[in-house]
Amino acid sequence: VVVPIFNEAENLAELHARLSAALEATRRPYELILVDDGSTDGSPALLDDLHAKDPRVRVLRLARNFGQHAALSAGMERARGAILVTLDADLQNDPADIPKLLAKMDEGYDVVSGCRTGRGEGFLLRRLPSRLGNATIRRITGTRLHDYNCSLKALRAEVAAQLPGLGEMRRFLGALVIMVGRRVAEVPVAWHPRRRGLTKYTALDLISNYLDFLTTFSRRPFQVIGALGLALAGLGLLGGLAYFPVRFGLGVPLGVRTQLVLFLAVFLGFQFAILGLLGEFTTRIYRLVQHRPFFVVKEFLE
């Protein structure tokens, strides 16, 4: 079980207790990999305590804050289990749902994703953007889930083993594991409001995540710009061609303003088309240079 932790001191004791209870009840061997993602509160000390107290706890400490998905990836790379389970540290996911995910995995799935029910979060700032995001991910990945951003998931080690090669795309683990796994299922899981500590995501983060997703997974934005540019240039050219029969056939001179509009359409259209083309090249280069490290580990208490 891999848990990313960024300033969750208030939640760690209860998280450990509830995870342990849920996992012991499954009677399967397990380890908890608690990834400290550069916490600046009491979390590091509490994690040391848990590590000292429980031999099944392993603490992975990143050199600074790299973000939720980098922390998850770092933990997943060190997991030794045949099945990996991920969830948030803040108890918005319920550890008691883990057996349900495992039971579904036993049916032979590669990935089982939680689908949050009863999300009491604000509609405008959370649930609506979440729906838009899910719709986009469905389109781009060609998969059919309802809730890609539920942190509570189970996946086979073989699926997790594919992830290190995927560079920056791992910023969208939720979408990624579903693309990598062949047999994917979704099971409804509980969602609880955060009781302690603060959310680390603002509405602005959600928007920037969305744009990140588009630019990481898709060249579509550039293609749209390029296509619109070509269409605009085409219209301008057609208008320009229409000028000749109108001018010489009908003898009607075109006003300066009309000429200017036609000229601008062609000129700007080509500019946008070229911008789209540049974008295509940029995305290719971007994919090639993605070898930069996604996270840096400071220590690993096994």
Ligand X SMILES: Nc1nc2c(ncn2[C@@H]2O[C@H](COP(=O)(O)OP(=O)(O)O)[C@@H](O)[C@H]2O)c(=O)[nH]1
Return residues touching ligand X (CB under 6 A). 4-6, 8, 37, 65, 67-68, 71, 88-90, 92, 199-201
Indicate whether 147 belongs to the interface with Mg ion (CB under 5 A): no
Q: How far apart are CA 187 and CA 153, in angstroms?
A: 9
Amino acid at 270: F
Q: Which is nearer to ligand X, 34 or 273 (CB)?
A: 34
Q: Which does 67 bind (CB under 5 to 8 A by kind): Mg ion, ligand X, none?
A: ligand X
Can residue 90 be called a binding residue for Mg ion (CB under 5 A)? yes
Between 66 and 109, CB nearer to Mg ion? 66
Nearest-approach distance from CB 239 to ligand X, in angstroms: 50
Q: Report the residue number, 73 or 216, with the smaller CB distance to ligand X.
A: 73
CB of 149 to Mg ion, least distance (A): 11
**Helix, strand or coil, per DSSP, at residue 148:** coil
In the complex, least distance from residue 92 CB atom to ligand X, rounded to whole angstroms: 5
Q: Which residue is nearest to ligand X (CB)?
A: 200
DSSP tag of 172: G
Min separation Cβ 89 and ligand X, Å? 3
Of positions 11, 86, 92, 93, contacts Mg ion by CB under 5 A: 92
The item of Mg ion, ligand X, none sharing an interface with residue 93, based on CB under 5 to 8 Å by kind, is none
For residue 275, the minimal CB distance to ligand X (Å) is: 33
Q: How far is the CB of 40 from ligand X (least distance, A)?
A: 11
Q: Could you tell me the two tokens for 260?
A: 């200017």
**Six-digit token pair at 69?**
């998905």
> Position of tokens 């057609």?
238
Neighbours of 65 (CB within 10 A): 16
Q: Is 82 exposed, middle or buried (0-12, 13-18, 19+ CB in 10 A)?
A: exposed
Q: How far is CA 70 from CA 131, 145, 256, 297, in A?
A: 24, 23, 58, 11
Q: How far apart are the first and last CA of the chain?
A: 14
Q: C-alpha 222: how far from its chain's center?
A: 20
Amino acid in position 85? V
For residues 116 and 219, which CB has a smaller minimum distance to ligand X in the complex?
116
Phi, psi of 144 (to 5 degrees): -125, 55
**CB closer to ligand X out of 170 and 219:** 170
Which residues are at the interface with Mg ion (CB under 5 A)?
A: 88, 90, 92
